[in-house]
């Protein structure tokens, strides 16, 4: 196999007019559950939709399974060398011809009947449509994360709501429909050189160029826990600095977009998000002691300046984090953020 091979059914989809939705599924070593994922999509696809499967260099036989989908109508399979999920998604974007596009992870499954229910929303479109999803754990328990039905006629009102509620499911790229015209005209792509947070950065870039947003109470997919391995089991070098970058990009996005929030609301938003950032770093220390030396000094200096000792270190390592109003460096005083408040 070369660097990229396309196995498509019938006419090149990029020449087909009137295609409304492209569903992009990046796959990598998911032999045991890829059929379940793809069947959940194909069984309910519209006539004016397409499925683009991008295999990112699987070495477990997934690619051979995918070749069996070459005869399915409106399906395109792309086999490529391993680069990562972001590169696979970007390849799917390049191949997509729908007016809207969406992403489904290969270890998840679309809710039965979702596409039929969601089709109606595209008769009254928005640049981004956000759906809920159900998280299903190994023990069979589940939790639904959802948003209410609402239309935001401008992105500023959406940003206002997010700053006030902090509950709009903005992080994932897998629970949204995106207007592809915006993605193409602004060349929005997933970053391929970061280990975590690429979904967030993609969404922030898109929101900064969107005009209208719709949220829907429809539950789009089952987010399946397939093993005990997760983000928490991996080591991320300089995790605190990475999270600080994600924090700053979020603040730049929402503080610039928001026109209806006051200074107190904006300061509260900044502080709340930074407090959660520090807590996310501290919660990893027990499982990843190698991250203590990488991250703890920077966190301590931000909170206590040069006035800290063993007592403050132990408090922070145990997740006992002071409120940002008590920090040596207030999150609101950051050079990247202060002018936006």
Interval 138-159: pLDDT, tens: 888 999 999 999 999 999 999 9
Mean pLDDT, rounded, for 213-237: 83
CB burial of residue 240 (10 Å; 0-12, 13-18, 19+): buried
- Please report, rounded to a whole number, the percentage of residues in the chain having pLDDT higher than 90: 84
Which pair of tokens denotes residue 305? 């300046």
Q: Distance between the two ends of the chain, CA-based, in angstroms?
A: 52
Q: Residue 23: what are its φ and ψ, rounded to 5°?
A: -105, 115
Contact 240, 292 (CB under 8 A): no
Q: What 8-state DSSP symbol labels residue 306?
A: T
Instruction: HSE, CB side, 13 Å, CA atoms: give it for residue 216.
Output: 23
**Residue 95: what pLDDT?**
97
Residue 180 has pLDDT above 80, yes or no: yes
Residue 239 has pLDDT above 70, yes or no: yes
Contact 187, 78 (CB under 8 A): no
Mean pLDDT value across the chain: 92
Q: Which domains does the chain have, with CATH numbers?
A: 4-228 (3.90.550.10), 233-340 (no CATH)
Could you tell me which residues are beta bridge partners of residue 21? 49, 100
pLDDT classification of 9: cutoffs 50, 70, 90: very low
**Residue 237: what pLDDT?**
87
Contact 236, 242 (CB under 8 A): yes
**Residue 229: what pLDDT?**
58
């Amino acid at each position: 196999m070369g660097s990229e091979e396309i196995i498509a059914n019938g006419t090149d989809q990029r020449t087909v007019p009137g295609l409304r939705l492209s569903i992009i599924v990046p796959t990598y070593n998911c032999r045991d559950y890829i059929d379940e994922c793809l069947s959940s999509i194909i069984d309910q696809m519209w006539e004016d939709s397409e499925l683009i499967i991008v295999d990112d260099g699987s070495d477990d036989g997934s690619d051979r399974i995918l070749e069996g989908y070459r005869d399915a109508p409106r399906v395109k399979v792309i086999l490529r060398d391993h680069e990562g999920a972001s590169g696979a998604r970007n390849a799917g974007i390049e191949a997509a011809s729908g007016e809207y596009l969406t992403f489904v992870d290969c270890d998840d499954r679309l809710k039965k009947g979702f596409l039929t229910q969601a089709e109606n929303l595209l008769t009254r479109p928005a640049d981004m449509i956000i759906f809920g999803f159900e998280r299903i754990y190994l023990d069979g328990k589940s939790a639904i994360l959802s948003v209410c039905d609402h239309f935001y006629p401008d992105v500023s009102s959406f940003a206002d709501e997010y700053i006030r509620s902090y509950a709009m499911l903005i992080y994932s790229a897998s629970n949204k429909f995106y207007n592809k015209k915006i993605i193409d005209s602004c060349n929005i792509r997933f970053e391929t050189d970061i280990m975590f947070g690429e979904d967030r950065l993609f969404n922030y870039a898109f929101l900064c160029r969107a005009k209208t947003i719709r949220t829907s109470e429809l539950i789009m997919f089952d987010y399946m826990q397939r093993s005990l391995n997760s983000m928490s089991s991996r080591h991320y070098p300089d995790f605190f600095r990475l999270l600080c970058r994600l924090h700053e990009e979020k603040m730049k996005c929402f503080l610039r977009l928001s026109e209806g929030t006051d200074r107190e609301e904006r300061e509260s938003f900044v502080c709340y998000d930074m407090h959660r950032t520090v807590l996310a770093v501290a919660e990893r220390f027990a499982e990843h002691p190698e991250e203590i030396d990488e991250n703890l000094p920077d966190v301590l200096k931000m909170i206590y300046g040069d006035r800290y000792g063993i007592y403050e270190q132990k408090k922070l390592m145990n997740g006992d984090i002071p409120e940002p109003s008590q920090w040596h460096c207030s999150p609101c005083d950051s050079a990247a953020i202060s002018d936006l408040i």
